[in-house]
Amino acid sequence: MLDLNTKNKKLALQVNTKLAERYPQPAGLLEHTNAWELLVATILAAQCTDARVNLITPAFFRRWPDTTSLAQARLEEVEQMIHSTGFFRNKAKNLIGAAKYMLAKHGGQVPQTLAELVKLPGVARKSANVVLFGACGINEGLAVDTHVSRISQRLGLTKNTDPVRIEQDLLKLFPRESWGNINHRMVWFGREVCTARSPKCLFCELHFLCPACKLE
């Protein structure tokens, strides 16, 4: 008889395979051309839609294309630029603080380790993981957002509700090389199929694996 860990690893393999078939080349939703731009976009995306952030960032990066320019920015001007993302005062303070920190500690470059990224104002584990994989191709962790939490809980891959504990559960189940893509695939799947309300179980290729499936 298979133990729970072995069962979950088998389940994770099936989930990984099915999602990879659906999304062979998944991409993140935040538009960027380098690590700096993705870092800014990720900080702005807290409690805000990716679509809204993508509307704001082109003008933001024309005004402040790098850490040097943003570190010298007036707080009020940054607040005005990002006002529609919500929590704009904290975000503006964090963005300028992050730029100053990177200039002081990393020569103005975005650090490429989780331990250093989470030292930046406004950057927690999820954001750090998004930047590391999305901009650098580094799988140091697995970004856990609402979609990843919901899908992994519904599938029975975790019983935890805390994002950090969910991440630790998933890291044990999925191969390291898949961590970044698992996040992207679950985000797309959560938006298109396994939605928070009224999940589309009839069209879900994972329904036969899912304890939460609503099909008769």
> Catalytic residue among 3, 10, 126, 159, which?
126
Distance CA 174, CA 12 (A): 6
3 is an active site residue: no
Using H for helix, E for strand and C for coil, what is the string for the chain?
Answer: CCCHHHHHHHHHHHHHHHHHHHCCCCCCCCCCCCHHHHHHHHHHCCCCCHHHHHHHHHHHHHHCCCHHHHHCCCHHHHHHHHHHHCCHHHHHHHHHHHHHHHHHHHCCCCCCCHHHHCCCCCCCHHHHHHHHHHHHCCCCCCCCCHHHHHHHHHHCCCCCCCHHHHHHHHHHHCCHHHHHHHHHHHHHHHHHCCCCCCCCHHHCCCHHHCCCCCCC
50 is an active site residue: no
> Catalytic residue among 3, 100, 145, 200, which?
145
- 153 and 161 Cβ atoms separated by less than 8 Å: yes
Per-residue tokens: 45: 């995306």
- 61 and 22 Cβ atoms separated by less than 8 Å: no
What residues act catalytically?
Answer: 126, 145
